[in-house]
């Protein structure tokens, strides 16, 4: 398969030639595994931090 690039590479190539199977393998590597959380919280927003109540307000239910 011949894939056109938006910009030329450092070598001046405007396209890349890859086998169909190699393209599928590369695309499959970009897909996260099932039930994998893509958002990682650090610091005060992390699940086990001891001070999230000082930063995040609790919502009022029923309003």
Q: Which residue has the tokens 């992390």?
A: 46
Q: pLDDT (tens digit, 9 = 90+) per residue, 4-61?
A: 999 999 999 999 999 999 999 999 999 988 888 888 888 888 888 888 788 877 766 6
**Tokens read off for 14:** 């405007």
CA atoms within 13 A on the CB side of 19: 3
pLDDT, mean of residues 1-5: 93
Q: 14 near 4, Cβ under 8 Å?
A: yes
Residue 40: what pLDDT? 84
Burial class (CB in 10 A: 0-12, 13-18, 19+), 52: middle
Confidence of residue 63 (pLDDT cuts 50, 70, 90): low
pTM: 0.48
Domain ranges across the chain:
1-32
């Amino acid at each position: 398969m011949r894939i056109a690039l938006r910009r030329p590479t450092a070598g001046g190539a405007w396209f890349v030639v890859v086998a169909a199977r190699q393209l599928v393998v590369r695309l499959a590597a970009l897909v996260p595994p099932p039930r994998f959380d893509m958002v990682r919280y650090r610091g005060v927003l992390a699940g086990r931090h001891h001070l999230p109540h000082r930063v995040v307000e609790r919502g009022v239910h029923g309003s």
